[in-house]
Amino acid sequence: MTARVVVLAQDLIWADRLAGAVKAAGGEPVRAASLERFEEALAGGDAAIVDLTALAYDGVAAIAAAHAAGTRVLAVGQHDDHALRKRALAAGADRVFAYRKLFEDGPGTISAWLVRPAGVGS
């Protein structure tokens, strides 16, 4: 079964990169650019990826919504924003990766995360 991964990203370049990495990892990306669309898409999603640095939505609130819906979530953000990374983890993100990590090895990183059972390696 192909995992449906809801990708919440405002930046078009990162939305494309993340969706492409999900597809290359064997998943089916479902793109969302707003918190409302993200929450709607969670109902049919198996997992979610949230870009934390958008201005159009609150990434931590999106993570909390995904976590409350029982959806595994991976976050991506600035490597040096430690406070935001901690808030994302506290809201329910399995992992928070720096943009560079997903730029350099998005498909491999996402593939490993998708096959890992929830709660393992978090």
Q: What is the mean pLDDT of the chain?
A: 93
Asked whether residue 36 is domain-assigned, the answer is no
Asked whether residue 39 is domain-assigned, the answer is no
- pLDDT value of residue 120: 46
Long-range contacts of 36-45, Cβ-Cβ distance < 8 Å, separation of 24 or more: 38/6, 38/8, 38/62, 38/65, 38/66, 39/65, 39/69, 41/6, 42/6, 42/66, 42/69, 42/71, 43/69, 44/4, 45/4, 45/5, 45/6, 45/71
| CA distances for 77 relative to 17, 34, 87, 88, angstroms | 14, 17, 12, 10
- pLDDT value of residue 116: 75
Asked whether residue 72 is domain-assigned, the answer is yes
Asked whether residue 40 is domain-assigned, the answer is no
The whole-number average pLDDT for the span 1-10 is: 93
Asked whether residue 74 is domain-assigned, the answer is yes
- pLDDT exceeds 70 at position 5: yes
- pLDDT value of residue 2: 87
Q: What is the model's pTM? A: 0.92
Q: How many domains is the chain partitioned into structurally? A: 1
Domain that holds residue 110: 8-28+47-115
- pLDDT value of residue 14: 93
